Chains A and B, each alone.
Chain A
Amino acid sequence: MDQQQLRNFEARCIQEEQPFCTAACPIHIDVRPFMACIAKGDMRGARRVLDRTMPFADIVGRICDQSCRTACKRREIDSPLAIGSLERYCVSTVPAVIKPPKLPGKGGSVAVIGSGLSAMTAALDLARKGRNSLILTCDEAIGGTLRTYAEELLPAQALATAVETLDFYGVSIQFGCSLTNEFFQTIRQDHDAVFLDRDCADLHGLAVDCAHPDPFTLGIGREGCFAGGGCLENSYSVIKQVEDGRRAALTIERYLQKVSLTAQREREGACPTRMYTVTAGIQSQQEVLPADQQTGFTAAEAVQEAARCIQCQCMECVKECTSLQEFHDYPKQLVRKIYNNEAIVQGTRSANRMINSCSLCGQCQVVCPNDIPVADVCLASRRNMVEKSTMPPSAHDFPLQDMEFSQSDFFAMTRHQPGSDSSRFLFYPGCQLAGSAPQAVEQTYLHLTQQLSGGVGLMFGCCGIPAHWAGRQELFAKTMQDFLFEIEEMGNPIIITACSSCYSIFKEFTPNLSLSSLWQILEDIDLPEQRGLIPQQPMAIYDPCTARHEPEIRDSVRRLTKKLGFSIEEHPVSGELADCCGYGGLMQFANPELGGKTARKKGQRSVHDGLAYCSMCRDNLASSGKRIAHLLDYLFPSADPEDPTLRRNPGFSRRHENRARLKQRLLTTLWHEESDMTPEYKKNELFITPLIMELLNSRHILEDDIQKVIFQAEQTGRRLVDPESGHFLASYKPVRVTYWVEYEPGMQGFIIHNAYSHRMSLPGDVK
């Protein structure tokens, strides 16, 4: 990722945009934390928020005309927050908490003519920036129009506090000035800049046109002179006075620093925001009105009203994604972390775990108002890590070994239909379905050969998606190349995939091949005669994340379930919004806990039993405790009468075994080829209790690994023994991981008592 791409991605994430109220406020009061503080009864905290941005909060907080209120998102639900009344409550009950710092004096003197709120604000802001500022007014007290407010609305004490504040920051005030042209000339000559507050009756006598200041800089076409504030069209807006005073102070500061008066000021004053907040589903709650209009809110009423604030933010993607939640990230932070991670030439890359925990499922991009491709960013970063050899070795070792197994002779094979030497179709069930439900694969294949003419070939293998997800581009490219070669050898048949992951891979990387999903094919041919019992109760379809962009496949599945007589209840997070089951992006290997959490979340999307058409979804959700079946379980039921929603996840070892046995069985029964692929070390019979099997699965230890340990130990005699129990303990390191197995020789084989592994090397490791 280069800096340009980073900026581009960052700009597309709008989570850090201002909320609607703050954007609409000309001085951008941070309304969200203000409301959050009041809602939890922290009135001092609320006052602190105001003190940070609001000049003369004792005045403005009481009488602000709250242009923010119309922008409040809550109006879409019921009624906007009473922001003004809450500010009034806050400043009436809590005195100032913080005084913003005064910067050291840096010269430059500014005369402020008039003493209305914009004059006060300009003088205060400039004094805080370290400029000498002087208020010159014909009045005998400051405030201008403010002085006409009723005591109940704006107590005289608030103005007295303002005078103290101005004094604290070193603003001097000259009362009773007579604003003649001559006086103005002298003032202009004695100061570097002048601001004229139009909330001052005597300005009319001056030969200076203050009526039409530039809206951006408040310049009035005279060197160093600026004007603002006052009544506009006979209406006096408090916040407009503050805005003009603040804008004038910023202009004058730029003027004194001799920099551009206009550059990068778009965010000053009320401005648009790209914030995106979904209000659907938020409970309606009527506005809290003070019981006594005269005295305003009580503390309890203020807390209750402020609690209505929905704290507008986007977080659309984070709301759904376990991975973004886990790392407390929204995409803007995520891309920054990834960028920083890549920039580290040598050293700790703390974002590795986060990058490898993404399921690459693309759900976030669908819900994002700006389509930020988080999955693409994470995948690109994984490729980058692989290229630079910074990928943690343990992240994807296990699934890549699984892939290697599926591509080895133990499973991989390609054949024309028995008795045929050409194929119009080629059934590609995929490695996981073959591992999970081998008998369904076999029956599906037989059914296809009976129903389709022109020859249906069969191909076992792995589509390479683990390598793709792991960022292993070379390995993946080789897989694709080999696959293309095989397909060409077969005479370019129409490929029928059962797994939507395989489908997505072939569609993206071998676009010239003819491709169809099993579900589209099954929809058009006769249903098998021997079908399973279709449940009466409703079931929820669980779309896999890899069918997100395949509406035709999803529709085929639904039509097929209808044809079969299912009663389907859709849940809202399906279709193109579907969650990942934890397998996507190899999440469950890089971050097993998160994988489990992700599967549970997906399972909980519906209270009904699930119906999946991806075997990884089926197995992972089953592991998470969800009652869920695979659609093929009903089309091609097994001889075992067990309820298919209760079928257990076979686990990693059993999947290997299932694939290898399926291949051998089909070669024998359909193609009459004799083969015994069993290597020497696999010939020992193992006895493993379900409890130990579960342990092995959770520790990613295969029966195959155990066979190797025992074979090696028995061959060399290198092992430990516990004389008491007669158990042996041996270790072996086939590649990178050292496996330890505690076992006991039995009558027909070996009883397995425990197994564990580590990656650290010992002296004299047996390889």
Chain B
Amino acid sequence: MTPITDETKIARAIKRSRQSLPPEPKVVDIRYKPYVDSRGGEDSLQVWIVLDEGVTLERGAGGALNDIARLIDDSLQSEGIPLFPYTRFAKKSELEAAGIDV
């Protein structure tokens, strides 16, 4: 279970990431929840980057997506949070259709 102090730091790191996002692709939300990885059972974070419904991830978009993942990771590490962020990308409509609750 994530200690309350860590929860505060994680929330602060995510908030800071939201404020520094690149203009493209358009992100409408960043959601996260505690996660335990499947290989070693290590405490981690699952971070969902919710993209605008109009975003199409064309070939070549990977650079911007890596930038976003780096931004989140750096923000967490600057808060002293060592948890690995498994950063995923989705549209709200996809999360809802799949019943993924974040």
Do A and B truly interact? no
